[in-house]
């Protein structure tokens, strides 16, 4: 049967209850692809109504679900087909909602049993194909727990993951401490690790964890003129409540758009007075643009 | 290795390979077995529109240059090269239909005066000792008063040029400081070799051009480019220089990801860029203006009469640094020396 045409019922028919007295002989980790661990006791997963399932392959037993439950009684999946077994597991834990770490664990498992990720519908569904993406998945499995947990919750794009996958140990340590200290948004995280990668050869060897001031200064070198310009511009943009001033083309042109919102004729009058008072601010802004060769 | 499609057996290239004793191998249509390497050349009978206007987007000033694309792919491996994104093969594909290429050049000449060149999708001279393309193009262009033809290169592969008449022919070099060549322009000729090659071409009678494109900002920008220009001024006489183009590094947004994958030591990663009006990423305008001003004033301090133009730059920068707006395409190109020759405008 092709791996992607599997249905849960087809394996359920092959189940029988067995007793295993020495549970130490059961491998309980390999099929435990769910991440992070605490997820397993949330309502994402079915309650413990039935004995856990095991699969026997080449004299080795593998536990397939209810990893935190101790018991001697198991359902045995009577099949030689790894795809059947993995599909059972993926269906049981609703792999369609798998986060990026879970997909990484699944990829690892699939390769370990000599299959390709393309053999499984899930990876097509998630548009994960090609060596680079698979190698990236395998690499992120090896990252420290705090980074993996962050990735699992934020599910960043492969553009970000590909950068992380290239990190050496010092950069990984810095990234881990950055996450722990800042709990960054995804865009902050992306910006940080991109800069970290781009400046990796300039980071002092003594730096092995996140240091806000150190990295602020280092990354400033990427575009000092822009940073300095924006620093001078921002205070000038405050022309009053409900008035917004912006340039929409990264200052390729000197066009400024001023917009305001009103809810009454009085609001309009108020805006006009504020605009009148801010003539000098506009002059200041254009002087600044001139100073920075933006006119 | 050179692979030749059997349908190209009677081509200009095969005749040259046989004459020069160059090894090659005939193959069928299927190219799957050709290792996708920059070391391989594939001669193909495929059809193409060879002569066309250099692709340019609106908004930034474009000089109405025409290109003839007979080759796709380049033996050099520049970190900033758009071909990494544009081509789906790394081997060098060479189109064997020289008859059609010639017809298209002649047709263009009938339409009016044009500046035309190879070097858009490959380096014009890097493989000239194998492909002999100067032997093909130069005799055609020598007879055409309406065409000025440019070979653009980062090589020093100029030997074959000395068998030809330099009439209507320009040889141009893309230049960057030695440290940028080392980190960004893999397998190309060094700066000294390029300048010496340009000097020899100028001595022979060719008009030469220089492209400071892409200008790359880095820690030693001022010193690096000043040293480069000093070496250039010392070797090349000003009256041999037809024109100089200057333009800062610009790219489609996906390119940096490729650079991170392939060239993690690249200087390009140490700057940040902004999305500009044509969707490409550029240095922030303040920095661009600084770079262009620096190079322009350095050149003008030594060579007052050379025509300088900015490739794909905003009119406001033209006005600020050169004192005028060249206008778009047809209007722009009238500023080139070629359009002032023989009293024509």
Each residue's pLDDT tens digit, B215-257: 999 999 999 999 999 999 999 999 999 999 999 999 999 999 9
Question: What is the structure's pLDDT at A175?
Answer: 98
Question: What is the structure's pLDDT at A21?
Answer: 73
* Residue closest to B282 by CA, chosen among B67, B56, B60: B60
Q: pLDDT averaged over chain B?
A: 95
Crossing angle, helix A100-112 and helix A145-154, to 10 degrees?
110
Which residue is associated with the tokens 């003594």? Answer: A206
Question: What is the structure's pLDDT at B59?
Answer: 86
CB-based contact B167:B148 (threshold 8 Å): no
Question: Is there a contact between A223 and B286 if contact means CB atoms under 8 Å apart?
Answer: no
Q: Residue range A230-252: average pLDDT?
A: 94
User: What's the complex ipTM?
Assistant: 0.90
Q: Residue range A125-141: average pLDDT?
A: 94
Residues in chain A with CB shorter than 8 Å from the CB of B270 are 198-199, 202, 221-222
* pLDDT, greater one: A189 or A7: A189
- Exposed, middle or buried by CB within 10 Å (0-12, 13-18, 19+), for B110? exposed
Q: Residue range B307-312: average pLDDT?
A: 96
Out of A13-22, A168-177, B307-316, least confident range: A13-22
Cα–Cα distance measured from residue A269 to residue A275, given in angstroms and rounded to the nearest whole number: 10
Q: DSSP label at B190?
A: P
Q: Residue range A70-78: average pLDDT?
A: 82
Question: What is the structure's pLDDT at B296?
Answer: 98
End-to-end, the C-alpha distance of chain A in Å comes to 68
Question: Is there a contact between A197 and B264 if contact means CB atoms under 8 Å apart?
Answer: yes
The three-class DSSP label of residue B47 is coil
* pLDDT, greater one: A272 or B340: A272
Q: Residue range B206-217: average pLDDT?
A: 98
Question: What is the structure's pLDDT at A44?
Answer: 58
CB-based contact A203:A218 (threshold 8 Å): yes
pLDDT one-digit tens code per residue, A33-47:
988 876 554 555 556
Cα-Cα-Cα-Cα dihedral sign, residues A20, A23, A24, A29: positive
Question: What is the structure's pLDDT at A45?
Answer: 59
Residues in chain B with CB shorter than 8 Å from the CB of A200 are 264
Question: What is the structure's pLDDT at A54?
Answer: 87
Q: Residue range B71-85: average pLDDT?
A: 96
**Residue in chain B nearest A229 by alpha carbon:** B286
Instruction: Judge whether A294 is closer than 8 Å to chain B, CB to CB.
Output: yes
pTM comes to: 0.89
pLDDT one-digit tens code per residue, B95-116:
999 999 999 999 999 999 999 9
Q: Nearest by CB to B274, which of A202, A250, A295?
A: A250
Question: What is the structure's pLDDT at A100?
Answer: 96
Question: What is the percentage of chain A residues whose pLDDT exceeds 70?
Answer: 89
Residues in chain B with CB shorter than 8 Å from the CB of A225 are 284, 286-287, 290
Instruction: Judge whether A223 is closer than 8 Å to chain B, CB to CB.
Output: yes
Q: Nearest by CB to B285, which of A221, A222, A251?
A: A251
Question: What is the structure's pLDDT at B145?
Answer: 95
Question: Is there a contact between B284 and A254 if contact means CB atoms under 8 Å apart?
Answer: no
CA distance, residue B84 to nearest chain A CA (Å):
17
Question: What is the percentage of chain A residues whose pLDDT exceeds 90?
Answer: 66
CA distance, residue B294 to nearest chain A CA (Å):
13
pLDDT at A260 exceeding the cut of 90 = yes
pLDDT one-digit tens code per residue, A218-229:
999 999 999 999
| pLDDT grade for A5, boundaries at 50, 70 and 90 | very low
pLDDT at A6 exceeding the cut of 50 = no
Question: What is the structure's pLDDT at A17?
Answer: 83
**Residue in chain B nearest A289 by alpha carbon:** B286
Question: What is the structure's pLDDT at A64?
Answer: 86
Cα–Cα distance measured from residue A157 to residue B222, given in angstroms and rounded to the nearest whole number: 38
Residues in chain A with CB shorter than 8 Å from the CB of B278 are none
CA distance, residue B229 to nearest chain A CA (Å):
25
Out of B59-63, B74-78, B98-102, least confident range: B59-63
**Residue in chain A nearest B292 by alpha carbon:** A293
Q: Structural domains in chain B?
A: 46-343 (3.80.30.30)
Q: Nearest by CB to B287, which of A197, A225, A295?
A: A225
Instruction: Judge whether A229 is closer than 8 Å to chain B, CB to CB.
Output: yes
Tell me how many residue pairs between chain A and chain B have CB atoms under 8 A apart. 65
HEC per residue, A6-49: CCHHHHHCCEEEEECCCHHHEECCCCCCCCCHHHHHCCCCCCCC
Question: What is the structure's pLDDT at A107?
Answer: 97
C-alpha count within 13 angstroms, C-beta hemisphere, residue B310:
31
| pLDDT grade for A280, boundaries at 50, 70 and 90 | very high
| pLDDT grade for A2, boundaries at 50, 70 and 90 | very low
Q: Residue range B75-101: average pLDDT?
A: 95
* Residue closest to B99 by CA, chosen among B65, B146, B140: B140
* pLDDT, greater one: A204 or A27: A204
Residues in chain B with CB shorter than 8 Å from the CB of A292 are 286
Q: Residue range B122-148: average pLDDT?
A: 97
pLDDT one-digit tens code per residue, B2-51:
999 999 999 999 999 999 999 999 998 777 788 899 999 999 999 989 99
CB-based contact B215:B183 (threshold 8 Å): no
Q: pLDDT averaged over chain A?
A: 88
The three-class DSSP label of residue B171 is strand
* Residue closest to B11 by CA, chosen among B121, B95, B93: B95
Question: Is there a contact between B260 and A197 if contact means CB atoms under 8 Å apart?
Answer: yes
Cα–Cα distance measured from residue A119 to residue B204, given in angstroms and rounded to the nearest whole number: 64
Chain B residues with a Cβ under 8 Å from any Cβ in chain A: 257, 260-261, 264-265, 269-272, 274-277, 284-287, 289-290, 314, 316, 320
CA distance, residue B257 to nearest chain A CA (Å):
8
A85: left (phi over 0), alpha (psi -120 to 50) or beta: alpha
Question: Is there a contact between A222 and B272 if contact means CB atoms under 8 Å apart?
Answer: yes
Task: Give the start-to-end residue ranges of the domains of chain A.
Answer: 1-93, 130-222, 225-291
pLDDT at A3 exceeding the cut of 90 = no
User: Vertex A81, ends A79 and A87: CA angle to 5°?
Assistant: 100
CB-based contact A293:B289 (threshold 8 Å): yes
CB-based contact B116:B147 (threshold 8 Å): yes
**Residue in chain A nearest B270 by alpha carbon:** A222
pLDDT at A1 exceeding the cut of 70 = no
Residues in chain A with CB shorter than 8 Å from the CB of B274 are 226, 250-252
Out of A173-187, B266-280, B331-345, least confident range: B331-345
CB-based contact A184:A178 (threshold 8 Å): yes
The three-class DSSP label of residue B117 is strand
Question: Is there a contact between A293 and B285 if contact means CB atoms under 8 Å apart?
Answer: yes
> Rounded to 10 degrees, what is the CA torsion of B117, B122, B128, B133?
-50
Residue B164 token pair: 């030809």
| pLDDT grade for A58, boundaries at 50, 70 and 90 | confident
Cα–Cα distance measured from residue A53 to residue B323, given in angstroms and rounded to the nearest whole number: 80
CB-based contact B234:B191 (threshold 8 Å): no
* Residue closest to A62 by CA, chosen among A49, A48, A45, A79: A79
CB-based contact B132:B16 (threshold 8 Å): yes
User: Vertex B10, ends B4 and B16: CA angle to 5°?
Assistant: 75
């Amino acid at each position: 049967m092709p791996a992607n045409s599997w249905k849960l019922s087809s394996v359920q028919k092959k189940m029988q209850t067995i007793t295993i007295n020495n549970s130490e002989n059961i491998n309980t980790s390999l099929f435990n692809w769910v991440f992070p661990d605490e997820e397993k006791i949330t309502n994402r997963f079915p309650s413990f109504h039935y004995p856990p399932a095991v699969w026997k392959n080449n004299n080795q037993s593998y536990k397939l679900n209810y990893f935190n439950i101790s018991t001697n009684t198991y359902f045995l999946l009577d099949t030689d087909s790894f795809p059947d077994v993995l599909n059972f597991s993926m269906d049981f834990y609703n792999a369609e909602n798998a986060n990026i770490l879970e997909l990484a664990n699944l990829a690892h498992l699939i390769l370990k049993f000599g299959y390709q990720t393309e053999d499984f519908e899930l990876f097509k569904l998630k548009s994960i194909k090609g060596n680079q993406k698979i190698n990236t998945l395998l690499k992120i499995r090896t990252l420290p727990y705090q980074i993996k947990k962050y990735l699992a919750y934020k599910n960043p794009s492969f553009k970000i993951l590909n950068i992380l996958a290239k990190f050496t140990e010092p950069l990984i340590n810095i990234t881990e401490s950055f996450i722990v200290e800042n709990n960054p948004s995804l865009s902050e995280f992306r910006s940080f690790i991109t800069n970290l990668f781009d400046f990796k050869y300039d980071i002092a060897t003594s730096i092995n964890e996140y240091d806000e001031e150190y990295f602020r200064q280092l990354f400033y070198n990427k575009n000092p003129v822009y940073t300095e310009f924006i620093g001078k511009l921002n205070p000038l943009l405050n022309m009053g409540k409900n008035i917004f001033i912006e340039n929409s083309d990264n200052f390729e042109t000197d066009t400024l758009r001023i917009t305001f919102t009103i809810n009454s004729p009085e609001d309009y009058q108020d805006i006009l007075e504020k605009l009148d008072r801010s003539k000098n601010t506009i002059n200041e802004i254009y002087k600044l643009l001139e100073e920075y060769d933006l006119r | 290795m050179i692979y030749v499609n059997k349908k190209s057996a009677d081509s200009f290239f095969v005749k040259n390979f046989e004459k020069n004793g160059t090894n090659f191998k005939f193959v069928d249509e299927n190219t799957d077995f050709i290792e996708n390497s920059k070391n391989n050349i594939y001669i193909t009978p495929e059809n193409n529109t060879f002569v066309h206007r250099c692709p340019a987007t609106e908004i930034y000033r474009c000089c109405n240059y025409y290109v003839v694309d007979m080759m796709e792919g380049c033996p050099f491996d520049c970190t900033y090269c758009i071909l990494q994104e544009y081509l789906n093969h790394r081997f060098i594909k060479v189109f064997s239909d020289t008859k059609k290429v010639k017809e298209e050049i002649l047709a263009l000449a009938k339409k009016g005066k044009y500046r035309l060149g190879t070097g858009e999708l490959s380096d014009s001279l890097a493989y000239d000792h194998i492909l002999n393309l100067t032997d093909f193009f130069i005799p055609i262009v020598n007879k055409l008063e309406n065409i000025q033809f440019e070979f653009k290169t980062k090589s020093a592969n100029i030997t074959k040029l000395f068998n030809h008449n330099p009439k209507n022919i320009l040889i141009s070099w893309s230049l960057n400081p030695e440290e940028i060549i080392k980190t960004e322009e893999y397998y190309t000729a060094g700066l000294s070799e390029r300048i010496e090659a340009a000097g020899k071409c100028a001595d022979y009678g060719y008009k030469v051009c220089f492209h400071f494109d892409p200008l790359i900002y880095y820690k030693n920008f001022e010193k690096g480019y000043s040293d480069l220009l000093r070496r250039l001024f010392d070797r090349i006489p000003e009256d041999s220089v037809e024109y100089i183009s200057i333009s800062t590094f610009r790219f489609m947004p996906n390119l940096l990801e490729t650079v991170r994958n392939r060239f993690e030591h690249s200087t390009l990663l140490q700057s940040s860029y902004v999305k500009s009006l044509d969707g490409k990423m550029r240095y922030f305008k303040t920095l661009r203006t600084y770079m262009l001003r620096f190079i322009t004033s350095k050149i003008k301090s030594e060579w007052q009469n050379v025509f300088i133009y900015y490739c794909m730059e905003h009119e406001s920068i033209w006005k600020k640094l050169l004192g005028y707006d060249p206008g778009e395409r047809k209007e722009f190109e009238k500023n080139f020396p070629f359009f002032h020759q023989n009293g024509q405008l």
